[in-house]
Structure 1
Amino acid sequence: MHFNTPCFGTVEYEQKDIIRFQDGLLGFENMIDYLLIHISPIEDSFMYLQSLQDENLSFILANPFTLYPGYSPSLSKEDLIQLDLQDDTPVIFYSICVLKKNIAHSTCNLKAPLVIRTDTRKGFQVVLQDPQYGFHHPFPDLSLDERGELRC
């Protein structure tokens, strides 16, 4: 299948690539089907989440564990039920970022991460109860190591 976007051009995908957020995302409850688009083939710290319902809607995502090594989200019992998670269920976490022209003013939403089951491609945006995480958490200092990978 093909999907045309103004930012990424024509994106090819298969049905198995679609991530479904049955409840949508906060503020975008009617947008449920998305594709993950990798920014770099060798670095997975940042990606785009492209809506399949609106070609003009995409989000910049970050791997919160790469940017914030101490990040330790704790899912509530309701979150676990919503995603039908067991101890061995494969999941990935992403945080939605707001990038500014000056990277020092950019933020990452650690309070409401996206949790995606990699086996079913079912996603859910959770709101963590932990007060140490904010909706506009400042970016850490970013740099690349000798292999060109992100180092915080």
Structure 2
Amino acid sequence: MKISTLFFGELEVIDEEIVTFTQGVPGFEELTQFTLVQPEDSAPFSYIQSVQEGDLSFVVTDPFLFFKDYDISLPEALQAELKIEQPEDVLVWTVVTVNHDFSKITLNLLAPIIWNVKTKMAKQIILHDSEYNTKHEIVLNADSDEASEPTQVEG
């Protein structure tokens, strides 16, 4: 199927590339079908693009690239809901926020997206009783895609 998107123009999406968010995405619960877009020039960032609403995509990244000690555990109920059988079936994404002049980039470590690559099911969860918050700042090294030491931003 072809979808018309705000940032990527027209995209060809095959059924095998569609991931179903079991309860939609918080704030967009009615939107359940997404696809991952990974432009080469945007690494280490990717996009989760809505298949149903071409104007909606989220910038995401692998949090472990920036926070080596990021530690989450998945409740058994979530593992059952997403039909997770093996740890290697799971990708963890965090939503990226960039301010208007691109001088500050933060990751939402409090609400990661858990993505089962085998079943093509995903869910954004909230880590209750966690030290993580929605704005953990990262700084990219200007000479590469490598991140420098991250800092946490309160608020």
Q: After superposition, what is the alpha-carbon deviation per residue over 1:79-113, rounded to whole angstroms, capped at 9, x for unaligned?
A: 22221223445110100111113445332111111
Q: 2:13: which partner in 1?
A: 13
Indicate the RMSD between aligned Cα atoms, in angstroms: 2.0
1:52-63 aligned at under 5 Å gives the runs 52-63=51-62
Q: After superposition, what is the alpha-carbon deviation per residue over 1:44-82, rounded to whole angstroms, capped at 9, x for unaligned?
A: x21111111111111110110102111111112222222
Structure 2: 5+ residue stretches without partners:
149-155
Distance in 1 (CA, whole Å) between partners of 2:107 and 2:34 is: 20
Letter in 2 for 1:67: F
Q: 1:121: which partner in 2?
A: 120
- Pick which of 97-106 and 16-25 moved more: 97-106
Q: 1:125 to 1:58 in 2, by over 3 A?
A: same
- 2:101 pairs with 1:105: no
Q: 2:146: which partner in 1?
A: 150
Q: 1:33: which partner in 2?
A: 33
Q: Which structure has more RCO (C-alpha within 8 Å, separation ≥ 6)? A: 1
TM-score, length basis structure 2: 0.85
Aligned residue pairs: how many? 148
Distance in 1 (CA, whole Å) between partners of 2:33 and 2:99 is: 26
Write out the 4+ residue segments of structure 1 that deviate beyond 6 Å after TM superposition. none
Q: Helix, strand or coil for the counterpart of 1:85?
A: coil
**1:50, 1:59 within 8 Å by CA — same for their partners in 2?**
yes
TM-score, length basis structure 1: 0.86
- In the TM superposition, residue 143 of structure 1 has moved relative to its aligned partner by 1.4
